[in-house]
Amino acid sequence: MNKTIIVSNRLPLQISIEQDQLNVTPSVGGLATGMKSVHADGNGLWVGWTGITDEELDADLKKEVDAKVKDVKCKAVGLTQDDIDQFYLGFSNRTLWPLFHYFLEYTEFEDSQWEAYKRVNQKFAEVVLDTIEDGDTVWIHDYQLLLLPQLIKDVKPEVTIGFFLHIPFPSYEIFRTFPWREELLTGMLGADLIGFHTYDYERHFLSSVKRILRLDVNFNEITYHDRIVKVDSFPMGIDYNKFHDAALEHDNPNTEISELQKRIDTHLNEDGDKKLILSIDRLDYTKGIPNRIRAFEYFLNKHPEYKEKVRLVMLAVPSRSGVPQYQLLKKETDELVGRINGEFSTVSWTPIWYFYRSLPFENLIDLYTSSDIALITPVRDGMNLVAKEYVATRTKQDGVLILSEMAGAAKEMNEALLINPNSFEDFASALKKALTMPLEEQNNRMKILQKRLKRYDVEKWADEFFKTLEATNKLQDVVVSKKINESLQNDIVEAYKKAKKRLVLLDYDGTLVGFKDNPQDAKPDEELYGLLDQFENQNNTKLCLISGRDKATFENWYGNKSYDLITDHGVWMRERSQWTPLEILKTEWMTNIKPILETFVDRTPGTFIEEKEYSLAWHYRTADPELAQIRTMELNTVLTSMVANNELSVLQGNKVIEIKSSNVNKGRATTQLLMKEDYDFILIMGDDWTDEYMFEAAPDLATTIKIGYVKTKAKYQIKDPEKVRALLKQLV
């Protein structure tokens, strides 16, 4: 039976050694807690790190760990202490985590840590590849494993791979500062579907893909080599019923009352008016903990009537304490809590109850159910599940959630009191509003929040992800239906060999050579000359290069060659070294159109005009892709009226708009060429929109091949110029 392999840095269980015994605890953090229920239900395997290093394990302990892990459908990836230092505490949490959360000042770029990151991603790949069987699906999670999708795809191209990022994807302006940005993006693009919590993260990612990799993005689909990679947002939910039911159980008079609950009850019973404000996070600088404490101090000063009436219960879960920034944060938090408690405490009241520990699930429920307000105010957070868990436990639909706008969860929790965590005023007024909110309003808000969380729970989230992943696979089938495989290639070669009279008609840019920023740099290389010469030496074979390039350029490149050339999209033809015009063209229109193009060049950095004998081309390959998209639309509109009056046409090439007389195109030239002789083998290859005219003009017997995997009239598709050359080599 096919299985789903979940891969994340941390397994849902963490193992440590205490007095020579293995001690197993559940992992904290949104990824592990959220995915746990997805994993529990499915037929799957979870691959990840156990929390223990290779050095801590002798052979017997390792066996024991493997068995414990296997019991819960997991498989361990062995990491050494050095891996933990360099990959986990290093690159993952000193580079990627701060950078992706916009903490540039905390971000370190260390070559040795990058090397470790690559090495450890490879270790994960090896374990995954070891367990993959045909038909399995791999679902990779989070920023520690950004290179893993491509590492797996390289070895197992047929395997379906999903990737989900649990943290924000930063804006291009931040991401571009990262020294290994291309590698990270291409690593992620190994997946068939890439998921984010919010649309903002999705569009930031797409923007980086467009600008850094210069790939074509069509809405949320990226054409990447011979695949379509789909990008979408799926806001992660929680196991709603688990939290809701636990809260109902908590309220059951037969349930035993925990020590923590007794303490809370004592506080609440002191005076009917007392309120608890809850804050729960991993102790992480992204969570805005010091700011929250200061804002609470500000609130108490601004509204002294709440002194002795409210208490902030702050649970900070120890996290990544091997990273210096986290140690500093711990110190800062301890000092702040101490100072404020010192400043405000009375005989019967301390304003902040501070716990620095991980609590069992039951105690989390005690806190969630007992708190009148949840104050969740990260400065930047991918999603934030704590906010959702609080809502799920409010079985009486009372309580108020104050939530930072900077948490991904804020996008779907509009009924919370949303605040900017950098504004103490926002804090103070939201706290005041929450403390005085009528019960009816609390109910109304909670009801809507709960309805959504219950419907779009973690199971639904995973289902939606898998459904989209499946649909993406179907998309690949359409894309690759015309793809040239080995047997088709052999058939073409066979037909070529058998034929008595052959025509090979080849476009140049994007077909025989790849694109360069400047068209003048895309000159033919020695290998290409050699290959084309070989065609010339074949009997009964006519080779013709057909291009939008101008006559002068081709004459310069192929002056001493004897094969045929068609230039300027079909204006000129060179046969047996003789140039003749295929069309008689006017050029007066150029004086009117050129100034218009010039204004577009002035306003669109990275673009330029190429002046040919019979056409004008506006190139925008190196312009900002989004600006270029707007400008091409504008230019098309401006040109529409002029074009009709001057019998011109506007061609949309590959990152170029070309204006030329409407009675020329490569299709007309192809027809003229075909009329001259009868062929029993015709091969036509081209990559862009202008080449579609050739495919249309080709007779049925022709083998027409499009370079690239986009919609085409050609019969077949091939990946890139490299593959074109391989096919041509095989022919000769």
Binding site for ligand G6P (CB under 6 A): 10, 29-32, 142, 166-167, 319-320
Q: Which does 320 bind (CB under 5 to 8 A by kind): ligand ADP, ligand G6P, none?
A: ligand G6P
Q: Which does 98 bind (CB under 5 to 8 A by kind): ligand ADP, ligand G6P, none?
A: none
Q: Which does 383 bind (CB under 5 to 8 A by kind): ligand G6P, ligand ADP, none?
A: ligand ADP
Quote the least distance from Cβ 220 to ligand ADP, whole Å.
24
Both tokens of 217, joined, read 């993005």
**385 in contact with ligand ADP (CB under 6 A):** yes
Both tokens of 520, joined, read 């003048």
Q: Which does 142 bind (CB under 5 to 8 A by kind): ligand G6P, ligand ADP, none?
A: ligand G6P
For ligand ADP, give the closer residue by CB, 381 or 688: 381
For ligand G6P, give the closer residue by CB, 10 or 502: 10
Tell me which DSSP letter residue 95 carries. I
The helix (run of H) or strand (run of E) holding residue 552 is helix 551-558
Q: Interface with ligand ADP by CB under 6 A: which range of 179-187, 356-364, 438-446, 671-679?
A: 356-364
What track of x and - describes contact with ligand ADP for positions 227 through 266 (by CB under 6 A)?
A: ----------------------------------------
Quote the least distance from Cβ 410 to ligand ADP, whole Å.
13
Q: Which residues pair with 55 in a beta bridge?
A: none
List the one residue from 24, 248, 317, 643 that touches ligand ADP (CB under 6 A).
Answer: 317
Q: In angstroms, how far is CA 139 from the centroid of its own chain? A: 14
Report the alpha-carbon distance of residue 467 to residue 436 in Å, rounded.
44
For ligand G6P, give the closer residue by CB, 25 or 730: 25
In the numeric block, the tokens 């047996």 are attached to: 576
Q: Which does 358 bind (CB under 5 to 8 A by kind): ligand G6P, ligand ADP, none?
A: ligand ADP
Three state DSSP letters for 113-172: HHHHHHHHHHHHHHHHHHHCCCCCEEEEECHHHCCHHHHHHHHCCCCEEEEECCCCCCCH
**358 in contact with ligand ADP (CB under 6 A):** yes
Positions 9 through 68 that interact with ligand ADP (CB under 6 A): 28-30, 33
For ligand ADP, give the closer residue by CB, 359 or 710: 359
**627 in contact with ligand ADP (CB under 6 A):** no
Nearest to 206 by CA among 236, 175, 241: 175
**283 in contact with ligand ADP (CB under 6 A):** no
For ligand ADP, give the closer residue by CB, 37 or 207: 37
List the one residue from 210, 282, 621, 666 that touches ligand ADP (CB under 6 A).
Answer: 282
Going 355 to 358 to 363 to 366, the CA torsion angle's sign is positive
Q: How are strands ordered across the β-sheet holding 352-356?
A: 352-356, 310-317, 275-282, 373-376, 400-404, 417-419
For ligand ADP, give the closer residue by CB, 82 or 405: 405
Positions 296 through 315 that interact with ligand ADP (CB under 6 A): 315
List the one residue from 280, 283, 571, 673 that touches ligand ADP (CB under 6 A).
Answer: 280
**186 in contact with ligand ADP (CB under 6 A):** no
For ligand ADP, give the closer residue by CB, 365 or 593: 365
373-376 and 400-404 beta bridge pairing: parallel
**352 in contact with ligand ADP (CB under 6 A):** no
For ligand ADP, give the closer residue by CB, 89 or 206: 89
Task: Calculate Rg over the CA atoms of the chain.
Answer: 32
Q: Where are the alpha helices (DSSP H) in 384-423?
A: 385-392
**386 in contact with ligand ADP (CB under 6 A):** yes
Cβ burial, residue 436 (10 Å; 0-12/13-18/19+): exposed
The one catalytic residue among 192, 239, 284, 507: 507
**531 in contact with ligand ADP (CB under 6 A):** no
- 3-class secondary-structure state, position 191: coil
Give the number of other Cβ atoms within 10 Å of residue 74's Cβ: 20
Residue 568 contacts residue 558 (beta carbons within 8 Å): no
For ligand G6P, give the closer residue by CB, 382 or 570: 382
Q: Interface with ligand ADP by CB under 6 A: which range of 123-131, 226-234, 380-388, 587-595?
A: 380-388
The reply to whether 507 belongs to the active site is yes
Residue 568 contacts residue 548 (beta carbons within 8 Å): yes
Residue 453 contacts residue 240 (beta carbons within 8 Å): yes
Q: Which does 384 bind (CB under 5 to 8 A by kind): ligand ADP, ligand G6P, none?
A: ligand ADP
For ligand G6P, give the closer residue by CB, 29 or 570: 29
Q: What is the number of the residue whose Cβ is closest to ligand ADP?
A: 30
The helix (run of H) or strand (run of E) holding residue 242 is helix 240-251
For ligand ADP, give the closer residue by CB, 95 or 358: 358
Report the alpha-carbon distance of residue 564 to residue 575 in Å, rounded.
5
Report the alpha-carbon distance of residue 276 to residue 311 in Å, rounded.
5
Q: Which residues pair with 501 in a beta bridge?
A: none
Residue 335, CA atoms < 13 Å, CB-side half-sphere = 7
Q: Interface with ligand ADP by CB under 6 A: which range of 86-94, 377-385, 506-514, 702-710?
A: 377-385
* Angle between the N-to-C axes of helices 458-480 and 30-41, in degrees from 0 to 180, rounded to the nearest 10: 80
**359 in contact with ligand ADP (CB under 6 A):** yes
Positions 117 through 176 that interact with ligand ADP (CB under 6 A): none
Q: Which residues pair with 25 in a beta bridge?
A: 14
Both tokens of 441, joined, read 């309003």
Cα–Cα distances in angstroms (integers) from residue 722 to residues 228, 508, 528, in the given order: 20, 13, 11
Quote the least distance from Cβ 319 to ligand G6P, whole Å.
5
**631 in contact with ligand ADP (CB under 6 A):** no
List the one residue from 384, 604, 703, 704 that touches ligand ADP (CB under 6 A).
Answer: 384
Quote the least distance from Cβ 512 to ligand ADP, whole Å.
51
Q: What is the number of the residue whose Cβ is closest to ligand G6P?
A: 29
Residue 207 contacts residue 167 (beta carbons within 8 Å): no
Q: In angstroms, how far is CA 249 from the centroid of its own chain? A: 40
For ligand ADP, give the closer residue by CB, 239 or 426: 239
Report the alpha-carbon distance of residue 109 to residue 90 in Å, rounded.
10
Amino acid of residue 576: R
Q: Interface with ligand ADP by CB under 6 A: which range of 271-279, 381-389, 439-447, 619-627?
A: 381-389
Quote the least distance from Cβ 311 to ligand G6P, whole Å.
27
Nearest to 95 by CA among 82, 110, 107: 107
Cα–Cα distances in angstroms (integers) from residue 674 to residues 197, 362, 678, in the given order: 55, 81, 7
Quote the least distance from Cβ 166 to ligand ADP, whole Å.
7
The helix (run of H) or strand (run of E) holding residue 290 is helix 289-302
Q: Interface with ligand ADP by CB under 6 A: which range of 50-58, 384-392, 510-518, 548-556?
A: 384-392
- 3-class secondary-structure state, position 613: coil
Residues contacting ligand ADP: total by CB under 6 A: 16
Q: Residue numbers of the site for ligand ADP (CB under 6 A)? A: 28-30, 33, 280, 282, 315, 317, 358-359, 364, 383-386, 389
**Which residues are catalytic, by number?**
507
